[in-house]
Amino acid sequence: MVNAIVVIILVAITSAVVCYLVRAKKRGDKCIGCPYAKQCGSKCNVGCNGHSRDGHNRAS
């Protein structure tokens, strides 16, 4: 019974992550894991290290 509960919880978490990723791609986010994804546009291929702490893109 405990194993079934753990499996259900893992499936729920995995489903939530997949739904989040699908919605983010539909919104047009370029780098989903980057907190500055909406600010950097297509320049996010430099990674999140290209951003300073105050939210401005160092790459531009």
pLDDT given for residue 13 in this prediction: 98
pLDDT given for residue 60 in this prediction: 47
Q: Where are the domains of the chain?
A: 2-50
Give the CA angle between residues 30, 25, 50 to the nearest 5°.
20
User: CB count, 10 Å around CB of 24?
Assistant: 15
pTM of the model as a whole:
0.57
DSSP state of 34: -
Is residue 29 left, alpha or beta, with left meaning phi > 0 and alpha meaning psi from -120 to 50?
beta
Q: Are 40 and 50 in contact (CB under 8 A)?
A: yes
pLDDT given for residue 52 in this prediction: 54
pLDDT tens-digit profile of 6-53? 999 999 999 999 999 999 888 877 777 777 766 665 555 555 555 555
pLDDT given for residue 24 in this prediction: 86
